[in-house]
Structure 1
């Protein structure tokens, strides 16, 4: 049974009537002084798991976060709730830092945010020695995993928390980790005795869709124009050059977009991030350097124009959509060149053989997700060791089931072509040359190397070029073909012989000819909200837009992101209820005491204007 003070903080400070999922058990465990390792999906309410214990326990909760650029926003959001919060990082001038230190020593801070780099500084450690610490919260704890997707070396030093402050409870939190990563986190952070809490990884409001890459820019533009007009979203690209090109392309086509990558000036990056957080309807085109810790709840889509390196990375990045529980889209365009490029990157990567094998295993799992004919959500959940329904009804393979076909003969033809090039001519080429040979094309290169004299020339006319590229892609995904060298030439694998000897059947995925446009994702609620967000009638929709206009003005006046005032889900509940008094307004999820006092009367006036 959770303590009365925890419920009091949940209701009075955060405005929620009930905990969600395992939040209640986690909060009680930490309040009682226990260590915890928490896996909870983005938008699942991880922050409450340490914020509430920090407010209940005596002292200040110290939050280790890798996100210096976002600490100000995190602190502003807490202050709006009436929580006494501060941060220490390298962006502060000496006077600001001195004031924060004084507040901490005086016991006048509920939460103090520090970066892992800052915690390693002896002066910061001595400061913490002099104050009273309620708990340590290690956010984005997967950063400690050395073969993970967001490794941060400074996280390796955080085992010192237990050594230096053995009586202070620690809670490590992450949105994504396999069982192996969980064990690595526990080992490296000295959390062997911690209690593990693993919430469901399912994000039912997110619709997962993976499409064959044809004209990716145009495919992306079609997605935004037909399904996400005026929506905020993130587009991930592999390279800085791609980020710039895609951002320019979207702007030229009337979609407000900003670039974000490590090559930009730090001030430009900070300004673009700030605009994305504070303005409605912006699209951020970015490398994966962007997004960790972004607490923008109304991101309606995450699009990938390049193949992610791992399922963990894909899940983490797509999880930035729909934190408010509203319908959202995770869309990925995936093609043959992605597979070739990723295999090449692994082959030429730094590290020993074990490291490259680990990278290859991560990629294999990602390719399996792309090529599956089964429910994508079920496969995603299975990767993290959780059961799922055979059909979720909200991914492309469920909405428009692809066909599975026997591709053994085409596989044999393709592998024979690669074999003959190597054996008869001592040559290795990329996928394009093998496909041209199979299709019987007399290109300049085919003629130059007399490949039209090979016995396999023209034997593949039953498939179109795009279909042959799919065959190559799926053979690479299944380990029946490999790429090597700087130019990504095709080579056979040990398993290729089984197909050539007719000892192994090769089943492949065939995309629907004209996939039906997917309906909007089904509605679900995440976070600490207990009631589903209501659908609005036309009159309610008008009220909601009026409330959004009021919120935008209030956010601009206060210099904070709009969601810091109220989430869309809260405004929709207000629009549906249309309260006539502050007492009625206080019953809405997300309306705590401080926000009621600060914004309540303005909301009531907006409802009657």
Structure 2
């Protein structure tokens, strides 16, 4: 069986070897076992169910049903399978009545190897009856549940419709199921197992490390200007612009930043749920099919986006938790080439996220879990040691300093903020005691630093005993202290009373000196960080082609132009035809025969037959 699986890998998908646990997963599912697969974005999750589906179909076991949450993902994956010579189809709202009926007839005739469907469609009575008929004939080979974290209330992208997938185990006992996700902490993982009834499934947990991604987190000062400098310095130039994604908290912010980037010569498009559906689809298609587009979006954008050459993901607002941060940053560098994850965060981000948790209609248990997840992300942001070590530790993985995050490249200075924290808490207490009411961050800072503003004088707060006792600290330092105090629960923000600050039971330990507050010095601006441009690295070509000589660079550019024409003709993203890495390998080899193309990663039998002659023509022209 191993030789057959390797043959499918090589001949259909153009890869010589399985990566990591792929082979063990494939063999387990082909053998009829259930599996829970945690594998980072870009790690090859799709092959873990596509190859078993092909192998089981060849063995006469019928069609594999793939549960997918997004229409765009279905279209691209089915298109990619067609390019590889695999019979695949999807059922979703983009099909006409006649088209959907045609797919259903082909399904019952056994002409489809993989069928993609959304969870809402899969659990309809009509579709379940069709699956019953297949199952009765022994023609239902397996279920693949992609983006399985959507089933968990603890996950960062919970979708209630995924809960109905319990019907698969109850109604189709004996049909193997594989659930896959790139992101799940221990709590989310346990919830996936319970909700999908995968108690007997074998778990395959890959390393969460994405060593090609450089993590940088900076303190928010002017987020828009900071973002603009980051992109202009590291990801945009006269010759080309990198594709990237910028995440914002609100629709309004998305529109603002997309406009500012565009006004500064960066090809940027907005994406959020408030846009017309056709506009959203057009922007997503342009991002996938054109080069060098920066998508500015809310978290509504991104799940299932397979674009391999996204060179950076930036957050101008802090996400809700580490799972969301990891999932979103993981959309960068899927091709394994250098990529960047850049985030700016500030006190208001912490306040906003805490307020959303506190104001949610969920129960207290859920809120406590969400607060803990937010605190873990804030700890990552405030960390003075290796970002990657902390990120991987959150997912239960031990590692060593990476040498490729901002803290490793430019170690920050650390200072003891305990004294400042005690003075800040004392000021909150004294002001409330003197006035009988609470005040917000700005006013407390003014009193602590001894600034006799009109508001301070209005309330007589210049006479408070703590007035000016924090004058030696900058406002930036004190805001860092306050972020930590909010994170550890020593200060509460009352969103119902104009975001005023309140002491809590946890304040006492800090006031008594029992809890230490360690802080990093003010973070460097992005212009102080090492960048590939400031280090004089070659930037006249995309990363995939940087190692090629001049003649190969020309072949690479010609191949990309040819690929763009083919992709447009097939109405597919260019990377579905060939990845940049495959084109670079072709250009570097300078092939003169079809035999020269064999063994290049990403060129399977069907693609060699379909495109081999044209590739040779392009490589030998001129």
Could you tell me which residue of structure 2 aligns to residue 114 of structure 1?
117
Could you tell me which residue of structure 2 aligns to residue 552 of structure 1?
564
8 Å CA contact retained: 1:534, 1:572:
no
1:325 to 332, 336, 360: 336
8 Å CA contact retained: 2:481, 2:517:
no
Question: Structure 2 unaligned runs (5+)?
Answer: 534-543
SS in 2 for 1:263: coil
2:502 to 484, 491, 494: 491
1:23 corresponds to 2:18: no
1:197 corresponds to 2:197: no
8 Å CA contact retained: 1:62, 1:112:
yes
8 Å CA contact retained: 2:350, 2:483:
yes
Q: CA deviation at 1:176?
A: 0.6
- Summarize the alignment of residues 175-574 of structure 1 with structure 2, pairs less than 5 Å apart: 175-229=182-236, 230-389=241-400, 391-486=401-496, 487-513=498-524, 516-520=528-532, 535-574=547-586
Cα shift readout 1:481-539 (whole Å, capped 9, x = no counterpart):
22123322111222322222233332111135567423459xxxxxxxxxx99832344
Q: CA deviation at 1:429?
A: 1.4
8 Å CA contact retained: 2:39, 2:45:
yes
Q: CA deviation at 1:283?
A: 0.8
Could you tell me which residue of structure 1 aligns to residue 68 of structure 2?
65
Moved more, 450-459 or 82-91: 450-459
Question: Structure 1 unaligned runs (5+)?
Answer: 522-531
In structure 2, distance between residues paired with 1:145 and 1:172: 12
1:459 to 1:73, Cα distance in 2 relative to 1, 3 A: same
1:50 corresponds to 2:57: no
Could you tell me which residue of structure 1 aligns to residue 3 of structure 2?
4
Q: CA deviation at 1:248?
A: 1.1
8 Å CA contact retained: 1:178, 1:384:
yes
SS in 1 for 2:41: coil
1:40 corresponds to 2:39: yes
In structure 1, distance between residues paired with 2:428 and 2:37: 49
In structure 1, distance between residues paired with 2:516 and 2:501: 21
Q: CA deviation at 1:130?
A: 2.4
In structure 2, distance between residues paired with 1:604 and 1:543: 10
Could you tell me which residue of structure 1 aligns to residue 537 of structure 2?
none
In structure 2, distance between residues paired with 1:568 and 1:458: 59
In structure 1, distance between residues paired with 2:194 and 2:510: 43
1:520 to 1:26, Cα distance in 2 relative to 1, 3 A: farther
In structure 1, distance between residues paired with 2:258 and 2:301: 14
Could you tell me which residue of structure 2 aligns to residue 139 of structure 1?
146
Could you tell me which residue of structure 1 aligns to residue 92 of structure 2?
89
Could you tell me which residue of structure 1 aligns to residue 108 of structure 2?
105
8 Å CA contact retained: 1:400, 1:512:
no
Cα shift readout 1:398-421 (whole Å, capped 9, x = no counterpart):
111112211121112111111111
The TM-score, its normalising length taken from structure 1, stands at 0.95
Moved more, 550-559 or 217-226: 550-559
In structure 1, distance between residues paired with 2:617 and 2:11: 23
SS in 1 for 2:128: helix
Moved more, 290-299 or 471-480: 471-480
Cα shift readout 1:336-368 (whole Å, capped 9, x = no counterpart):
110111111111111111121111111111111
8 Å CA contact retained: 2:545, 2:553:
no
1:586 corresponds to 2:586: no
SS in 1 for 2:13: coil
The TM-score, its normalising length taken from structure 2, stands at 0.93
1:75 corresponds to 2:85: no
Cα RMSD of the aligned pairs, angstroms, is 1.6
Could you tell me which residue of structure 2 aligns to residue 525 of structure 1?
none
Q: CA deviation at 1:603?
A: 1.5
In structure 1, distance between residues paired with 2:506 and 2:553: 58
In structure 2, distance between residues paired with 1:32 and 1:319: 31
In structure 2, distance between residues paired with 1:466 and 1:474: 13
